[in-house]
Each structure stands twice: as structure tokens, then as C-alpha cells.
């Protein structure tokens, strides 16, 4: 009985091995699971909630996709993550993007990030020059001898602050105290009277300042067109923070505006970026629901000021709608 069972067992094993071999030789599925990591900024800013909104759209637009949203120190970190293939989509300020594409070492890019590809120009950031009302700060020159936060190191906020201040003869060494903190932490220290001011680059209605203004008397300090012009870069333009944007802000405030962009990299498949781009523009209401800054996202301005090549997937969509040739 025992010997008669051996051929049967051997035949079963042979058939099993043959099945495994045939499976290994079978063609792979046409499309593997796609993973999209969206890198944003601090959770109290604008990038993060918009990133969350985008990932929700992608789940519906791209079959089998897996998504994640990563809070970061924003622009410079995001672009380096893209170059390293550790993210598929990033939010960034236009000046940081231009610096990354050119390879500006002083801005944190010792080598050109040549894998970056543009997806869309979205909304503008506004430099919020926020000071305690009792600080006596009424302009840039008044920052000397004060306690100031300039944003997380090498973030878009910090790069904007550095450019604006240095062009107007102010160095970090002129402050009695300098902090490199994200939005929420900067606001908290102002509330606690541990800081006098911060320069914060964000979309309008940023949560950190809204919350600060409800608890602490603050002023939004003007930045003039003449001060902006001294920087000498077209990416920086005069802008306006409308009256009533924050509690206690009874008048329009002139400030500096910088465009924001969505960026991908050359390794992300064309069809994926096409669907990512299309889904955003077809559901802008979802973006606005996530943050009011998205009201400024306009499809006909998607290529405005783009400082690097557009990803083929995004370009395909723009050709479909007649925005690109």
C-alpha cells in the first residue's frame, strides 16, 4: 500500500510544480498598483488640507490607487523628496521651484533637480508680516532688535523672508532673537509673548493666523511695492490681503505675493499624472471646501509662470482643453 501511493504523490508534486512554473511565466497584469504620496507643509497651513483633498479625488479617479499625505517643512524638502523618488506630487512656492530647477546651492539645491516636472500653477501665497500690536512694529525696519520667527529652515516661508529682508538691508543677526519655526509654533510664541513678529508665507486665511488674531491683538504689517522691487526677481509681485481676512484687520494690507505650484517627477506614469490633473480641475469645489485659498485656482492659468518643463501627463490634459498646443 505504501509503495503504490508514491507514484501518485510524485505525480501530484510534478503537476504542482508545473502549475507554479506556468504561473511564473504568465504575463503580468497590465497595470501594477499605483502609489501616490503627496508632500505638503505644516498641518496648520494651506498645503496640507489641499493635499488631503487631492488624495480623496485620486481614489475615485485612478483605479486601484493608494494614497498618502505627508506633512513636511514645505517647498525645499518637498522638491528634494520628488527628486529622490519618495513622493509623486508636491506643493511648492515658485521661487523655490525656480531655484531647484536651476540648482541654487544657497537655497538648498546644490545640484539641479532635473527629474522635476510641472503639473499646475495654483494659487498665490502672500507674505503675512504679523506682529504683536504692542510691539511697536510698523514696517520692516522696525524688526531690528526684535524677536522674530522666519519659518522652518529652507522652507518657502524662510526663503521668502531671507530674500525680502536681505534686499532691504536687514540680516537675521539684526534680531535680538531669531526662530526657525512653522506656522503654528510661530503663532503660539507670539501669543505667549515670546516673539514679537513672524513673516509667514501662505494662502489667504491661514488657520494659524486666524486663531492667533482671535486670542491676541496683532497687526498685519504692510510690505511696499518699493521693498519688493529691491529683490529683483519677477516671481515676487505686489499683492493685497483684503480687509477682514483676519480679526481686527479693518483695511486692505499691501504685501508680497508668490505663486504656488503642483509638481511631479519624470518617473510618474503619464496616464497617472493626466488623471491627477484632470480630477483636480473637474472637482475644484472639493478643493475650495478643503480651504478657501483654492478659490484662486483657475484652469486657464494652469501654466502661468511655470519655470520648468510640464509633465507629459499634465500637458496631455492641457492640450485636450485647448490650453496648450
Rounded Cα gap, residues 272 and 283, in angstroms: 17
Q: What is the pLDDT of residues 65-82, one digit of tens each?
A: 999 999 998 999 999 999
Under the banding of pLDDT at 50, 70 and 90, the label for residue 32 is low
pTM: 0.77
Q: What is the pLDDT of residues 120-177, one digit of tens each?
A: 999 998 999 999 999 999 999 999 999 999 998 878 889 899 999 999 999 999 999 9
Q: Tell me the three-class secondary structure of 173-209, residue by residue.
A: HHCCEEECCCHHHHHHHHHCCCCCEEEEEECCCCHHH
Residue 187 has pLDDT above 90, yes or no: yes
287 contacts: CB under 8 Å, gap ≥ 6: 50, 53, 54, 280, 294, 297
Mean pLDDT, all residues of the chain: 90
User: How many distinct helices (H) and strands (E) make up the chain?
Assistant: 11, 10
Residue 28 has pLDDT above 80, yes or no: no
Which residues share a beta bridge with 23?
Answer: none
Q: What is the pLDDT of residues 36-64, one digit of tens each?
A: 999 999 998 899 999 999 999 999 999 99
Tell me, what's the pLDDT at 129?
98
Tell me, what's the pLDDT at 322?
97
Tell me, what's the pLDDT at 5?
43
- Mean pLDDT to the nearest integer, 85-111: 93
Question: Above pLDDT 70, what percent of the chain?
Answer: 90
3-state DSSP assignment of residue 210: helix
Q: How many residues does the chain have?
A: 325
258 contacts: CB under 8 Å, gap ≥ 6: 93, 94, 95, 124, 125, 127, 156, 160, 201, 235, 236, 237
* Domains along the sequence of the chain with CATH: 35-123+259-320 (3.40.190.10), 125-258 (3.40.190.10)
Amino acid at each position: 500500500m505504501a509503495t503504490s501511493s508514491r507514484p501518485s504523490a510524485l505525480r501530484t508534486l510534478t503537476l504542482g510544480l508545473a502549475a507554479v512554473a506556468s504561473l511564473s511565466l504568465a504575463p503580468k497584469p497590465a497595470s501594477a498598483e499605483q502609489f501616490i504620496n503627496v508632500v505638503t507643509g505644516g498641518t496648520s497651513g494651506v498645503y496640507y488640507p489641499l493635499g488631503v483633498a487631492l488624495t480623496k479625488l485620486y481614489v475615485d479617479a485612478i483605479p486601484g490607487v493608494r494614497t498618502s499625505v505627508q506633512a513636511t517643512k514645505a517647498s525645499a524638502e518637498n522638491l528634494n523628496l520628488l527628486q529622490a523618488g519618495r513622493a509623486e506630487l508636491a506643493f511648492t512656492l515658485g521661487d523655490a521651484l525656480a531655484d531647484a530647477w536651476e540648482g541654487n546651492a544657497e537655497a538648498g539645491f546644490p545640484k539641479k533637480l532635473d527629474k522635476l516636472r510641472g503639473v499646475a500653477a495654483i494659487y498665490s501665497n502672500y507674505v503675512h508680516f504679523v506682529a504683536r500690536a504692542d510691539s511697536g512694529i510698523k514696517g520692516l525696519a522696525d524688526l531690528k532688535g526684535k524677536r522674530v520667527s522666519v519659518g522652518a529652515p529652507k522652507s518657502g516661508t524662510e526663503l521668502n523672508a531671507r530674500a525680502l529682508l536681505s534686499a532691504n538691508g536687514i540680516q537675521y543677526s539684526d534680531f535680538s532673537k531669531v526662530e526657525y519655526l512653522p506656522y503654528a509654533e510661530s503663532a503660539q510664541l507670539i501669543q505667549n509673548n515670546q516673539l514679537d513678529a513672524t513673516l509667514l508665507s501662505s494662502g489667504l486665511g491661514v488657520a494659524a493666523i486666524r486663531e492667533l488674531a482671535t486670542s491676541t491683538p496683532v497687526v498685519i504689517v504692510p510690505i511696499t511695492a518699493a521693498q519688493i522691487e529691491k529683490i529683483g526677481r519677477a516671481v515676487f509681485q505686489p499683492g493685497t490681503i483684503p480687509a477682514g481676512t483676519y480679526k481686527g484687520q479693518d483695511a486692505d494690507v499691501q504685501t508680497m505675493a508668490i505663486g504656488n505650484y503642483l509638481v511631479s517627477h519624470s518617473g510618474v506614469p503619464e496616464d497617472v499624472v493626466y488623471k491627477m490633473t484632470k480630477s483636480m480641475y473637474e472637482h475644484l469645489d472639493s478643493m475650495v471646501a478643503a480651504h478657501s485659498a483654492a478659490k484662486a485656482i483657475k484652469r486657464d492659468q494652469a501654466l502661468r509662470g511655470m519655470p520648468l518643463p510640464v509633465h507629459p501627463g499634465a500637458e496631455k490634459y492641457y492640450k485636450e482643453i485647448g490650453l496648450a498646443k
